[in-house]
Amino acid sequence: MTDAVGSIDMPDAQDEAPESKKARKGGKRGKKGPLKRLALFYRQIVAELRKVVWPTRNQLTTYTTVVIIFVVIMIGLITVIDYGLSNAAKYVFG
């Protein structure tokens, strides 16, 4: 029986691993020294940081304000719940 992808009974050609290739140990990393790998890692970090879209000062101020307001609201909410539960425990256990 076949469907849009292919036959159910026969695996796709890409699913089969070629047996003629030997697995390499280390690949390209095994040929480089630790300092060269560290330098490559550093260059990759710098390249990724250049791709980042940094927020403007106005956006940063807005985001910071929203976070501080949210934290203050959560502190108030948890304080009220804690106060209520402590009074309830005092009432129940005397």
The full set of domain ranges for the chain reads 55-93
Q: What's the whole-number mean pLDDT along residues 79-90?
A: 96
Query: What is this structure's pTM?
Result: 0.50
pLDDT at 91 over 60: yes
Q: What pLDDT was estimated at residue 43?
A: 96
Question: What is the tens place of the pLDDT at every residue in 10-40?
Answer: 555 555 555 555 655 655 555 778 899 999 9
Residue with tokens 């949210």, as numbered in its chain? 70
Q: What pLDDT was estimated at residue 32?
A: 78
For residue 48 the two structure tokens come to 């990724």
Question: Mind giving me the DSSP string for the chain?
Answer: -B-SS-BSSS--GGGSPPSSSPPPSSTTGGGS-HHHHHHHHHHHHHHHHHH--PPPHHHHHHHHHHHHHHHHHHHHHHHHHHHHHHHHHHHHH-
